[in-house]
A and B are shown apart, each in its own frame.
Chain A
Amino acid sequence: MQYFNPVEVLDREELEALKLSRLKTTVANLYDNVPFYRKKLKEAGCEPGDIKELSDLEKLPFTTKDDLRDNYPFGLFAVPMREIIRIHASSGTTGKPTVVGYTAKDIQVWADLVARTIVAAMGTPDDVVQVAYGYGLFTGGLGLHYGAELLGATVVPMSGGNTKRQVRLMVDFGTTILCCTPSYALNIAEVMEEMQISPKDTRLKSGIFGAEPWSEEMRKEIEERLNLSAIDIYGLSEIIGPGVSIECQEKAGAHIFEDSFIPEIIDPTTGRTLPPGQEGELVLTNINKEALSLLRYRTRDITHLDISPCPCGRTHVRMGRVTGRTDDMLIIRGVNVFPSQIEMVIMQIPGLTPHYQIVVDRVGSLDILEVQVEVTPDVFSDEIKKLEELERRIQDEVQSYLGVSVKVRLMEPKSIQRSEGKALRVIDKRKI
C-alpha cells in the first residue's frame, strides 16, 4: 500500500483543473451563504465570476484568526446548524476560542485525508494505532481516530497523559503506530526507560507526530529512543485539523493534499505572494469542505513550498518543516528569534536533551533571554570549570547562529516540565 487515495498521484494537469473547479465552487458558495465573505469579497472588488484561473486566488482577501473570533461562534458557517454534526474548538488561550464545524461529508473527507497520512506512515489495516493526541475539542485525537478507523486499522484511543499506562498498553496491545506530539513522544520514551522497557519490547514501527514545530535533530532522537520511523503531520483546526499535509518516507517535506487545500507562501509583512522555494507565511484555502471554508487563511506558520517531483510518486506539493510562527517569534533586542532555532542548536550538542525552556525577561530596557537546559549524566562533570565550558559552548553556538547573546542556565534532570500535549517552550515575563 503506497497511498490511500488515487488522487494523491493524480497528474499535475488534472490536479490543477480539479483545484480550479473546486475553488470556483467554494468562492461562489461562500459568496452566497456567508454574509461575512460576501461583504469581504465585495470590499475587495471580487465577484465569484472573477475566478478564471488559479492565479486569480491572489485577488482574494485574506482571512485571519481574528475573523474567526469576530464571528464567534458560528458566524462563518456556510450551512444551517442542522447539517453540522461536529464542533471542535481551539483552546483559546490567547482570547476567545476559535470554533469550527463539520458536516457529515466534511467528517468523511477529513477521515480520508487522515487515512492517507497513516498510509504515508506505512500504516495498513493490520496495524494497531495508538492515538495519544488529546481527545475532545482539540482536533488531534478524533482526527487521527477517524482516519485510522477508515483505513481499517485497530485504534487504541488513549488520548494524552497517563504515560505509564500508555507504555504498558503499548506493549500489551502490540501498538505499531504511535500518534502524538513530538514532545510527548519524548516523554513516553523517558517513562519507558524509567520502567526499564526497551523499545525492542514493543512492536512500534512508525510515529505520526505533529501539532507543534520540531526539528530534524529531535526526529533523530525520537527515532533512536523509540526505535521507529518518525514522520511529521501538519494541520490546524481552522482548516480541518490534522491531515492538511504529511511527510512520506522520503522525509523531505510534507505533501499538502492539494485536492482539498490550496497553499500559498506570502511575505508576512507585505502580504505579497512569494515564488516557490522562498520562505514565508503559509496561507491555505479550503476547496473541499461544506460547513466552514476559509479563503486564504493566514496560518502564521513559517515554511516554504517545494514543487519538485517526489520519488514517492505523490504529485502534491511539499511544504518544508515549519521553522517558526509569526506569532511565537520573539523579538530580542531587535533580532527575530524562533524557539525552534534554539532547539536546533541545543540538539546539536551531544548529551543534551530536547527538554528546554526559554525565559524572556526585561531588565531595565534590556531584553534578557535565558535558555534552560537539563544536565544529564553524559554532560555532567564534578568540575565547575567543565560545566562552565558547557554553558559557554551553548552560549557561543546560540550567539553565532542567532546573533543574540543568551544566558544559559543548567537545570537538574526532569526539572523542566514534561509535555503531555504541546510543550510550553517560551515563558515571556516581559511587561510591554
Chain B
Amino acid sequence: MKVKQISVFLENKSGRLYEVCDCLARHNVNIRALSIAETADYGVLRLIVNQPDEATRALSNEGFTVSETEVIAVEVPDKPGGLAQVLQSLYQERMNIEYLYCFVEKSGESAIVVFRIEDLEKGIEAIQRAGFVVMQGEDVYKL
C-alpha cells in the first residue's frame, strides 16, 4: 500500500535540477510525479518514478544526496471537494500531514494525491475507512 518516493538534496544553483533529470533520462527512468520544497539556500526534490531503486542507485552514483521515503498515494475523484473529503478522514483522526502533492491521471477522471504522514499505517486505515482507494506502489509506478 506504500509508494516509494525518492528525495534529492539540491543546492540553489543553476542547472542542478536539469542534471537530476538528465541523469534519470540517461538511465531510462520515467518521472510520474514531482514536487520541490525550497528554502533560500537549497531545495528538496521529491519524485515518484517508474523504477525507484534504479533511480536511487543512478543518482547516488553521480554524487547526489538521495533518500527513499515511503508515502501513500490515494485516488481522489477529480471534482470539487474531492481532496477535502480525504483530508477530513485524516483530520478526524487528528493526524498531521508533513506534506502532500497531487497529479492528475491521464484519463482525467481522478487525481492522485501523494501524502507523507508520520504514521503511515494509521493513515492508510483512516483513508480506506472513508472509502478511498489507496494505490499499490506497482500501480503508481506503472501509471
Once the chains bind, are A409 and B41 in contact (CB under 8 Å)?
yes
With A382-B5, A382-B116, A412-B9 known as contacts, the answer to whether A377 contacts B41 (CB < 8 A) is no
List chain A residues, Cβ under 8 A from B7. 380-382
Partner of A382, one of B11, B16, B46: B46
| A-side interface residues, number (CB < 8 Å) | 18
List chain A residues, Cβ under 8 A from B98. 383, 385
Interchain nearest-CB distance for A20 vs B (Å): 58
B10 contacts chain A at the CB level, 8 A cutoff? yes
Once the chains bind, are A410 and B42 in contact (CB under 8 Å)?
yes
A375 contacts chain B at the CB level, 8 A cutoff? yes
CA distance A414 to B42 in the complex (A): 15
With A382-B7, A382-B46, A383-B98 known as contacts, the answer to whether A414 contacts B63 (CB < 8 A) is yes
Partner of A415, one of B11, B37, B60: B11
Partner of A383, one of B60, B63, B116: B116
B92 contacts chain A at the CB level, 8 A cutoff? no
Interchain nearest-CB distance for A380 vs B (Å): 5
Q: Which residues from 347 to 401 on chain A have a C-beta closer than 8 Å to any C-beta of chain B?
A: 375-377, 380-385, 387-388
CA distance A384 to B42 in the complex (A): 10
Once the chains bind, are A412 and B10 in contact (CB under 8 Å)?
yes
With A382-B5, A382-B46, A383-B116 known as contacts, the answer to whether A412 contacts B64 (CB < 8 A) is yes
Once the chains bind, are A413 and B67 in contact (CB under 8 Å)?
no
- Residue-wise, chain B 51-64 has the 8 Å CB interface mask toward A (1 for contact) of 00000000010011
Count the A-B residue pairs with Cβ separation under 8 angstroms: how many? 52
Q: Which residues from 388 to 432 on chain A have a C-beta closer than 8 Å to any C-beta of chain B?
A: 388, 409-415
Partner of A388, one of B10, B16, B39: B39
B65 contacts chain A at the CB level, 8 A cutoff? yes
List chain B residues, Cβ under 8 A from A414. 63
Once the chains bind, are B67 and A382 in contact (CB under 8 Å)?
yes
Once the chains bind, are B66 and A377 in contact (CB under 8 Å)?
yes
Most B Cβ at <10 Å: residue of A382, A409, A410, A412: A382
With A412-B10, A415-B11 known as contacts, the answer to whether A384 contacts B63 (CB < 8 A) is no
B88 contacts chain A at the CB level, 8 A cutoff? no
CA distance A387 to B11 in the complex (A): 13
18 new A-B contacts, CB < 8 A, other than A382-B7, A383-B98, A387-B42, are A375-B9, A375-B42, A377-B66, A380-B66, A382-B67, A382-B69, A382-B116, A384-B37, A384-B39, A385-B98, A387-B39, A388-B39, A409-B41, A410-B42, A411-B11, A412-B9, A413-B63, A413-B65
Task: Provide 5 A-B residue pairs closer than 8 Å at the C-beta atoms, listed in order of the A residue.
Answer: A375-B65, A380-B67, A384-B37, A387-B42, A412-B16
A interface residues with partner B (beta carbon < 8 Å): 375-377, 380-385, 387-388, 409-415
